[in-house]
Amino acid sequence: MMKLSDATRLRPGDENVLSALDTRPATAFYWQLTLLSTIGGFLFGYDTANIGSTLNLLPYHLSGFAQGYLVAGASLGAAAGALAAGPLADRFGRKSLLVVDAAIYAVGALLSAFTPSVGVLLFARTLIGLGIGADSAIATAYIAEYAPRGKRGSLGMLQQWMITVGILVAYLVALIILRGFPGSAHGMDWRLVLGIGAVPALIAVVLRSSMPESPRWLLRHGKYAQTRDALARLGVEATEDQVRATARRLDQADASEEAAGTRRSRWTPGVRRALIVICVFFIFQQITGINVPLYYGPKLLGSLFPAGAGTVGTTISGVEITAIMTAVNVAATYVAFKLIDRAGRRKLAMSGYAGMLLSAVLAAAGLAALSGTTRIIVVAIALDLFIASFAAGVGGTGWVLQGEVFPTSVRGQAAAIAACVDWVANFALIEVFPTWQTGIGLAWVMICFAGLCAMAIAFVFWFLPETKGHSVDEIIRLFERGETSAG
């Protein structure tokens, strides 16, 4: 709980409650609220990994389409969920959607655990996708609307860190269950792995119900008394008159832009430019290859690092190696968490892509030119460095940008479109990868990823402005002016 002495009190005559919110210190309450907001990120990560751990153990005859849909189908559901969440969040608020998202995931996870047929399992995967897609569209937008500008990157980065923790937990849960009950691998085990995700989801439903609504959303919708109450919970003591004065200032600024001809609609050229930049950033984030080891890790690495006979032994081997890589993912994301508000978004992203490029080339060289133990060591190190580079520079940066670059009036819709693009790109890579690998081999696939990383570096350098140190209300002006730090 926040102490009253920790609160920022606006003096009589102060008329900008949002400026007071922007300059607040990030108290323990802010971190607790952000952790609660990003439980959806944990579920996102858990769902990313748990299907890879169970794919070889399902007791159903799966057609090629059914197997592909089990792995990638949640991504299509997530794209639909993200797209639907935007307008709903802008109309009904951020908090209510976050509660509903967690409930949808809980239902999907329980259906996965108790499914009587592959058809129900496919439906459950789609339902899970809807929940995590909607959550990914709204969570970082919600965080950006209360986070102080000096800690907005770190708070937003918690979303990516929770994703990595969810992935790691999924593999650890699978290892514990498969090693503890190897005889039930094709029966109880896979159901437990899929169903345990309902537990944090149900916790999120309960706890998210007590979160404050976004003060920026409340202010833009004329809910001034509720805005004052939300601000008070966030440590800003203001009167309702001061809240109304802030609303008038925002309305006057909008009117001035309209009079000057620079604001013909909420979807201004700057907003559209920001949306295009973030969507392309998300496409590069996905197609440069990070989800190949995360989705297909147990299947791919089980054959590279065999440690047991039969399907269960190979699966456990792949899960163990992938768990090590996901631990690297968690640790490297913590590095990004510490650096993003110091180094800035652009430098972190370009450095991350550069590390991925070099790591992909090293992995390709190991796969193509080496053999035996040396090959195993080089490929393992290269893949760990690939994941670490993504985690430290790229993964969380995209989610932070998605939450902070859009104006409040369209933030839900714009963030939802960007999240939808992210999920569609995710689906495309996951769906194409098996055919791609069969056609040219894993080594050449890694070379392709290196080339895409080079393109991503050029894109960030030329088109992404630095948003560090700017309030969420100021950032859109960078895009309105078409600025980048390179230009």
pLDDT of 254 higher than 70:
no
Classified as helix, coil or strand, 8 is strand
Which residues, 6 or more positions from 316, have their beta carbon under 8 angstroms from its beta carbon? 175, 178, 179, 307, 308
Phi then psi dihedrals of residue 8, to 5 deg:
-95, 120
Q: What is the mean pLDDT of residues 335-359?
A: 93
Q: How much is the pLDDT for 309? A: 53
Look up residue 101 and give its two tokens: 């998202």
Q: Please state, in angstroms and rounded to a whole number, the distance separating the CA atoms of residues 290 and 456.
A: 14
Which residues, 6 or more positions from 414, have their beta carbon under 8 angstroms from its beta carbon? 86, 271, 274, 275, 278, 406
pLDDT, one tens digit per residue, over 426-468 is 888 887 888 898 899 989 999 999 999 999 999 999 999 999 8
Which residues, 6 or more positions from 445, have their beta carbon under 8 angstroms from its beta carbon? 289, 292, 433, 436, 437
- Residue 73's identity, in one-letter code, is G
Q: What is the mean pLDDT of residues 45-54?
A: 81
pLDDT, one tens digit per residue, over 320-336 is 777 888 888 899 998 89
Q: How much is the pLDDT for 215? A: 92
Indicate the pTM of the whole model.
0.82
pLDDT, one tens digit per residue, over 123-146 is 998 899 999 999 988 998 899 899
Could you write out the DSSP letters of every residue in 11-76?
PTT---HHHHHHT----HHHHHHHHHHTHHHHHHHHHHHHHHHHGGG--S---HHHHHHHHHHHHH
Q: How much is the pLDDT for 182? A: 76
> Under a CB-based contact definition with an 8 Å cutoff, are residues 175 and 316 in contact?
yes
Q: How much is the pLDDT for 2? A: 39
